[in-house]
Chain A
Amino acid sequence: MTDGTATRSAAAASAERRRRRVPYLLLLPGGLWLAFFYILPMLQLAGTSLKSGSFAGGYRFSWEFSNYGAGFSDFSAQFLRSIAYAGLATLITFVIAYPLAYFIAFRGGRYKNLLLVLVIMPFLFPFLLRTLAWKIILADDGFVVDTLKAIGLVSHNGRLLATGTAVVAGIAYNFLPFMTLPLYVSLEKIEPAMVEAAHDLYANPRTAFRKVTFPLSMPGVVAGTLLTLIPAAGDYVNAQLLGTPQQSMIGNVIQSRFLLVLDYPVAAALSFTLMLAILAMIIPYIRFTGTEDLVA
């Protein structure tokens, strides 16, 4: 990711000297794509979110800002839950993915490619099937629950399926590769000489990691957390298959408002609110972590 933007700005700089038009031409396909498939639908969604009326009687545009207030106050529980679940799942994927990516990058040796393929392997199976597989793994009478009961981590008549734990675990599992790959890319780029230099300067392994390796891997950390957190906050599949109504997330609400209740304005307002909430969270995060080459 950082690689791409870096080369793009480098290429743009050199191209400018030769010919000004080329970069714009190169941008054209992407720009058109964004305009047609992102900006236009988004404007339409914004328009819908300000309509009033009913499905039977037709919806009319009327600057109905109250859709936002109504949507948020009715479904604030699902909003907060989405953000909490997504945040927790992101944290879990980070804790699992960092050592994994570190191992592949520095200790993978000639098995590097094989290990990467293994990380990507779950993508070969559809998202839904992977989630459904968790239903089998976490079944009430399955071995996982039995084992956890035996060691006392799950109460005697407890369960994992249809709980918040299952939903968070499902999200963390499904998004693990999104965290691992960017981390791997930034860890892999680190010159071993840098770490050796730290050791030469009497840094112990821990200090070398804290002062050299980790800061250099920050672009991967930021990219990985964003790639996990953003889609996880809008996910509704895990909550639907692994949770109960008490675990439903904002994605479930939006889906049902659009398709069952046919309340398009509130559904659109909820989608926008989610988008803004995520933006509000990640902008300070990116500023704080200061990875300019990611947002440049």
Chain B
Amino acid sequence: MGDERTKLTGMPRLSQMEGVDRRQFLKYMGIAAAAVGAGPLLAACGDDSTATTGGGGGLTTEFTFANWPYYIDPGGVDSFFETSTLDDFKAATGISVNYIEEINDNVEWFGKVQGQLAAGQVIGRDLAALTDWMADRFIRLGWVEKIDKSLVPNSANLVDALKSPSFDPTRDYTLPWQSGLTSIAYDPNNTGRELTSINDIFDPAFSGRVTMLSEANDTIGLVMLGMGLDPASATLADSQAANDKIRQYVANGQIRRFTGNDYGEDLLNGNVWVAFAWSGDVIQLQADNPDLRFLVPSEGLMLWSDNMLIPKGAANKAAAETFMNYVYDPQHAAKIESYVNYICPVKGAQEAMRQMGEDLGDEDLAALAEDPLIFPTEADLAQTHIFRALPPDEREQFDAMFSETIGA
């Protein structure tokens, strides 16, 4: 798989090349800045959202979508298409999207909105994309609106593997925006060898040149896989064992930092040789360093999703649902995917992208449609593991022990 990746990104899209340096720079600066979580502390002081009486109502002509940075196609020079999906959506439905790239970190965004949601206020966001465990937290807290499925018939296109996660078994509240894989990213020029196993991250030769992710599920899950444990059915004792192992390597200096997306910058400038990383990020980083590999370890990889959900009391619920339906059309999903490069949760998007590639005569786009990291096969998905949804008590203990490991 690693070799295929190199081939693919050895020919980065011309249209992307011009903007890439500035874009990457801003991206990692922005992400690292947000990663330290100064956002919530400042933002919490004065939120601009107005408390309106929400919850249902008719179809409005605009809605607000809180999403992660670089998670939708912007149109123009940085993408394959002239117009963005948001423009297309407005042209098709007359609904304009107030699209805010404000989620850099689940915990940080939670910190920003939790005060208002806990007080029963409306946060002025009609749609937000949150990772599985945080979506789970929102559902448990009753901070989400139930999706009106009659407005989202295209949700039938959701891939089977994601149809019934344990935190939302019938997808009443959430619909995946993107999925992704977590594994190891490395540059063989730095490591001096190819890696094959998750446990290669503990090789003493890489001491101090290793980062892991501050997302507990990803990091504990991967280490568990390396220990032969299955995160899908892990007990708290299993998590504890993985956490103890990580602790030991923090203490001996093997692990340099725990990061959000900001591992990218460290990988590119050679400070870090081996990093726990997210698939879509690595595909984008390969535009800057084609030698970078995304390892498919013998033990398997972690699979996660960021899920669209409608925060409680949203004033423009129907508009948000119309948008969900729109992006679950394979054509539209393929267009978003051509830029985002994570795993597309929509059936038929691969065929749609293939077709687009042919129609446009764009080889790069056609190649993207065959990328196993974007459209994994059943066999690929069989190697992936989803972290079990933890009940609240266990979650608290889990988060507490991991946060002590990462030094806080």
Q: Which residues of A contact B (CB under 8 A)?
A: 54-56, 74, 78, 126-129, 132, 135-136, 139-141, 159, 161-162, 236-237, 240-241, 243-248, 252-253, 255-263
Contacts and interface: CB of A to CB of B under 8 A. Distances in A.
Nearest to B401: A261
Given A245-B258, A260-B408, 14 more contacts: A128-B32, A132-B29, A136-B269, A141-B270, A162-B271, A240-B35, A244-B257, A245-B257, A252-B407, A255-B41, A257-B403, A257-B408, A259-B37, A259-B111
B269 A248 contact: no
A260 B214 CA distance: 10
B236 interface: no
B227 interface: no
A125 B29 CA distance: 13
A253 B408 contact: yes
B271 A139 contact: yes
B400 to A, nearest CB: 5
A246 B256 CA distance: 9
Contact of A141 (B32, B251, B269, B399): B269
B405 A245 contact: yes
Looking at chain B, what size class is its interface with the partner chain?
A: 35 or more
A245 B406 contact: yes
A259 B38 contact: no
12 contacts: A56-B140, A132-B32, A141-B271, A237-B38, A244-B257, A245-B255, A248-B407, A255-B37, A259-B108, A260-B408, A262-B399, A263-B400
Given A56-B396, A140-B271, A141-B270, A129 B29 contact: yes
Top 4 A-B pairs, shortest CB-CB distance: A245-B407, A248-B407, A56-B392, A256-B408
A259 B40 contact: yes
A173 to B, nearest CB: 16
B29 A261 contact: no
Given A140-B270, A245-B406, A253-B408, A135 B265 contact: yes
Nearest to B269: A139
Contacts of A257: 403, 408
B116 to A, nearest CB: 15
A55 B396 contact: yes
A210 B111 CA distance: 51
Given A236-B36, A255-B37, A260 B256 contact: no
Contacts of A245: 250, 255, 257-258, 405-408
Interface string B263-290: 0011001110000000000000000000
B133 to A, nearest CB: 11
Contacts of B33: 126, 128-129, 132
Interface in B295-339: none
B38 A246 contact: no
B270 A252 contact: no
B408 A162 contact: no
B399 A260 contact: yes
B393 interface: yes
A261 B400 contact: yes
B36 A237 contact: yes
Nearest to A253: B408
Nearest to B45: A37
A245 B247 CA distance: 10
Contacts of A140: 270-271
Contacts of A263: 396, 400
B407 A56 contact: no
A139 B399 CA distance: 31
Given A140-B271, A240-B36, A260 B407 contact: no
Nearest to A256: B408
A138 to B, nearest CB: 9
A252 B111 contact: no
Interface in B27-68: 29, 32-33, 35-38, 40-41
A37 to B, nearest CB: 9
A260 B33 CA distance: 18
Q: Which of B255, B257, B269 has the most CB of A within 10 A?
A: B257
A226 B251 CA distance: 33
A127 to B, nearest CB: 8
Contacts of B399: 260-262
B11 interface: no
B393 A54 contact: yes
A258 B402 CA distance: 14
Contact of A252 (B29, B251, B400, B408): B408
B110 interface: yes
A262 B269 contact: no
Contacts of B108: 259
